[in-house]
C-alpha cells in the first residue's frame, strides 16, 4: 500500500469552511449558573433511543462544566437569531445568557425560548478524538418552534436558506 501524505491542519480547516452547518448553542449549568458555547459539530446519532452528538474542544471552558454537570441542551438557532449568535460570541461567558429569554426542560439545562429546536439531553458517553471530545447525549425532552429557516455557518460567516429556490 502506498504511503499517503497527511492533510495539513490549515488545508483541512479551509475545506471545513465549505461544509455548511447549523448553528447551535450548547448550554449547561455550573452551580445553578448557565454556561454555553456555539457549536456547529452537532448531529443525530439514533432515533431509538433518541440521541445526538456534540463535538467540543477540551480546551473550551464549557467542556469541563458540561462533563461535570452530565446534562446539556442543544439549542438550534433560527436565521432571525443571527444578531444574537454574534452577540453570544462577543460577550463575556458570564454575560451571555442575559441577552435572551431562557427556561428549562427536563434536565434543568438552559433552553433558549426562541430556538428552532431544543434538544434537552443527559450525557451518556464520550469519546476522545484529537483536540475534541465527541459527547453523546440521550434526548430526554425537546421543544420545537414553528420556524423553517435555520441559521447556517458557511465560509466563516452566518447565512440562511432562501426558501423556494431550488437548483
Given this model, what pLDDT does residue 165 score? 59
What is the tens place of the pLDDT at every residue in 53-93? 999 999 998 999 999 999 999 999 999 999 999 988 887 77
Phi, psi (rounded to 5 degrees) for 114: -100, 10
Look-up of cell digits 456534540: 54
Given this model, what pLDDT does residue 72 score? 98
Contact 160, 113 (CB under 8 A): no
What's the whole-model pTM score? 0.92
Residue 164 scores a pLDDT above 70: no
Confidence grade of residue 127 (pLDDT, cut at 50, 70, 90)? very high
Average pLDDT on 40-54 reads: 96
Amino acid at each position: 500500500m502506498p504511503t499517503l501524505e497527511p492533510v495539513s491542519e490549515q488545508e483541512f480547516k479551509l475545506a471545513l469552511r465549505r461544509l455548511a452547518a447549523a448553528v447551535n448553542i450548547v448550554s449547561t449549568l455550573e452551580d445553578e449558573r448557565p454556561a454555553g458555547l456555539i457549536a456547529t459539530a452537532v448531529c443525530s446519532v439514533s432515533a431509538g433511543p433518541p440521541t445526538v452528538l456534540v463535538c467540543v474542544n477540551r480546551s473550551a471552558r464549557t467542556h469541563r462544566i458540561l462533563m461535570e454537570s452530565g446534562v446539556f441542551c442543544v439549542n438550534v438557532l433560527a436565521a432571525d437569531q443571527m444578531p444574537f449568535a454574534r452577540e453570544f460570541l462577543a460577550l463575556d461567558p458570564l454575560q451571555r445568557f442575559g441577552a435572551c429569554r431562557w427556561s428549562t426542560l427536563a434536565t434543568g439545562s438552559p433552553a433558549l425560548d426562541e430556538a428552532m429546536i431544543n434538544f434537552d439531553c443527559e450525557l451518556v458517553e464520550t469519546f476522545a478524538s484529537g483536540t475534541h471530545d465527541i459527547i453523546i447525549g440521550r434526548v430526554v425532552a425537546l421543544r420545537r418552534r414553528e420556524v423553517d429557516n435555520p441559521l447556517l455557518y458557511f465560509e466563516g460567516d452566518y447565512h440562511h436558506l432562501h426558501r423556494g429556490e431550488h437548483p
